[in-house]
Amino acid sequence: MRAWLKRWRETRTLDKRAIPEPLWQLTLARFPFLSFRDATDVARLRDITTLFLARKEFTGTHGLVVDDEMAVAIAAQACVPVLEIGLDWYDGFIGIVVHADAVVAQREYTDDAGVVHEYEEELSGEAMHGGPVMLSWTDVDEAGESAELGYNVVIHEFVHVLDMRNGQADGIPPLPDRHSRDDWLRVLGAEYDRFCARVDSDEDTLLDPYAAEAPEEFFAVASEAFFVAPRHFLTEHPQMYVLLRGFFRQDPAAHAPP
Ligand SMILES: [Zn+2]
């Protein structure tokens, strides 16, 4: 689309479909980490959230109705990671599927002896290449309170979307050049190995031990804490903090309350 046409449409969306002030204030009050930025950036977050709502489709399952309050809660949190790098990073999918609660998925794996094992996995969210993104409303709803644990399901799944912009999720999102890629592999690799060693020795960690599953989970889980518990994350993972600050072009720890 031509750039001027896109801008004109965006301006029209912002005029006609602006999030009502009381609803926006309610959302900021419920999810305080949305305000870990200066006032201008919080205002831009509101605009980008409006554009996100205009571009994406929400579907509730089993009769769940996704009302405006729920849609804005999800959209605002989803827009946090792309506030500086741009909403276009989410162009690869349209749909967001909201379940009332976590979903139990049937999984199977084949062991080295060729035996297939079946197991159940409880999912609070899931992102697939090409979409849709699935979320459990219970987890989204609790995001204000669970932030101190560094937990945020929306940011987790949408960081997987960023990761998958250049193929399957592998912990390496598209990066501007070879130098940044080398830097990414070096820092993320070292931090991931160190984290796995801490989990193996049963240390208490800010990040959910689930982050030790794979580098892509480490990237997603670290990003949750970076945005919702930034000061704690900076203390525990200073190098990873700097890496994510460079990628997202944001510095939430500088604006979070002590
Ligand atoms: Zn994940």
Rg (CA), the chain: 18
Taking the C-alpha atoms of residue 248 and residue 11, their distance in angstroms, rounded to an integer, is 24
- C-alpha 71 – ligand 1 centre gap (Å): 21
Per the document, the length of the chain is: 258
Among candidate residues 36, 60, 229, the one with its CA nearest the CA of residue 149:
229
Which tens digit of pLDDT belongs to each residue from 23-38? Answer: 999 999 999 999 999 9
On whether the CB atoms of residues 94 and 122 are closer than 8 A, the answer is no
- C-alpha 220 – ligand 1 centre gap (Å): 6
Is the pLDDT assigned to residue 2 strictly greater than 90?
no
CA dihedral (14, 246, 255, 148) positive or negative: positive
Say if residue 22 is preceded by a cis peptide, omega within 30 of 0: no
On whether the CB atoms of residues 224 and 155 are closer than 8 A, the answer is yes
In angstroms, how far is CA 6 from the centroid of its own chain? 25
* Residue 43 in tokens: 């205002």
- C-alpha 125 – ligand 1 centre gap (Å): 8
Is the pLDDT assigned to residue 256 strictly greater than 70?
yes
Please tell me which residue, 162 or 12, carries the higher pLDDT value.
Answer: 162
Taking the C-alpha atoms of residue 161 and residue 164, their distance in angstroms, rounded to an integer, is 5
Taking the C-alpha atoms of residue 60 and residue 58, their distance in angstroms, rounded to an integer, is 7
- C-alpha 157 – ligand 1 centre gap (Å): 6
- C-alpha 6 – ligand 1 centre gap (Å): 32
Which tens digit of pLDDT belongs to each residue from 200-246? Answer: 999 999 999 999 999 999 999 999 999 999 999 999 999 999 999 99
- C-alpha 40 – ligand 1 centre gap (Å): 31
Q: What SS3 state is found at 105?
A: strand
Q: What SS3 state is found at 237?
A: coil
